[in-house]
Amino acid sequence: MTVALVLISAFLHAAWNALLRTEPDKDRALVSAVGVAALLAAGVAAVRWSLGELPFATTTALLWALAAGLLEWTYFVSLARALERGPLGPVYTVSRGGAIVLVYPLSIALFDERLTVLAAAGSALVFAGLALSGARTGDTRTTHGPALAWATVCAVAIAGYHLAYKASLGAGGNPSAVFAAALAVATGLNTIRVRGLGAVLRARLPRVLVMGVLCGGSFLLLLEALARGGAGHVLTLRNTSVLFATALAAAIGESPRRAQVAGAALVAAGAILMAW
């Protein structure tokens, strides 16, 4: 069940990132979609609360959820910036693969997850995949300079919010309530930061709704999987989504280079080994 949740979450995540890549105003479209995802998460959390599931068993769980929200906000901002400056495939691979490299050792140190030979071999494949994804290919929009910098910030934020989510769940947070609280923080900060959302909603409402539902569904499934499995294991397996992202990049008209496709394949193979 955990593996199925993670893989569905991975596809939904890659799909909403691909839709965002095609938006003319990525920052405002992202902020609007995150607002929709926040409403979806709040609705699910309210239904579960009405059925008797306590949103937060401890104050610690709530505080970790709010911390995850700050990191989600950082992730959303850096994702929009990276996709404005680089193509979907390599940006997605660097951000997701970089998060694997950070989360796995931290989850071992913080949550007593085990280090195995397969995990070590998988880490090596992820590093190789990241190197290929960032290789110069003659494409002026590859992950160099600002695009690489923002993708790296994105990777750090992804690693951070996964660990914060795991800590909140471990302290007694309900998965949907944890995500709803985190997105409430991210949405509030985004609303303060960005103006002109009404124009985007009027012009792009159907696409914003689709992106929001895909985003919210992806993270809700991820939180359910995190409640059942280790942080390193779940995040690592979820980042097989780099293969979905590379395929979707081609579907939206981008032309991933061979090195980028190979890099995505290596990151996905490394993720599967690490999560074995």
Cα–Cα distance for residue pair 252/52, rounded to 1 Å: 43
Comparing 242 with 52, which gets the higher pLDDT?
52
pLDDT in tens, 90-116: 887 788 778 877 876 777 777 666 667
Where is average pLDDT lowest: 16-20, 71-75, 231-235, 270-274?
231-235
| Confidence bin at 42 (pLDDT 50/70/90) | very high
Cα–Cα distance for residue pair 18/8, rounded to 1 Å: 15
Q: In the beta sheet, which residues pair with residue 56?
A: 173
Cα–Cα distance for residue pair 96/274, rounded to 1 Å: 14
Domain that holds residue 172: 2-274
CA dihedral sign of residues 158, 160, 164, 166 = positive
For residue 170, give every residue at least 6 positions away whose Cβ sits within 8 Å of its Cβ, in sequence order, or none.
111
Looking at residue 88, its amino acid is: L
- Identify the pLDDT of residue 144: 59
- Identify the pLDDT of residue 141: 44
Cα–Cα distance for residue pair 29/241, rounded to 1 Å: 22
Cα–Cα distance for residue pair 222/211, rounded to 1 Å: 16
pLDDT in tens, 129-141: 766 765 544 444 4
- Identify the pLDDT of residue 142: 47
Mean pLDDT of the chain: 84
Highest mean pLDDT among 39-48, 199-208, 255-264: 39-48
What is the chain's Cα-based Rg? 18
Q: Does the global pTM surpass 0.85?
A: no
- Identify the pLDDT of residue 266: 83
As for how many domains the chain has, the answer is 1
Task: Return the number of other C-beta atoms located less than 10 Å from residue 105's C-beta.
Answer: 14
- Identify the pLDDT of residue 137: 45
Q: Count Cα atoms within 13 angstroms, Cβ side, for 4.
A: 1
pLDDT in tens, 178-217: 999 999 999 999 888 888 888 888 889 999 999 999 999 9
With CA atoms as reference, report the closest residue to 31 among 164, 189, 224: 189
| % of the chain at pLDDT higher than 90 | 41
Are the C-beta atoms of 66 and 125 separated by less than 8 Å? no
Looking at residue 262, its amino acid is: A
Cα–Cα distance for residue pair 150/245, rounded to 1 Å: 18
Are the C-beta atoms of 40 and 175 separated by less than 8 Å? no
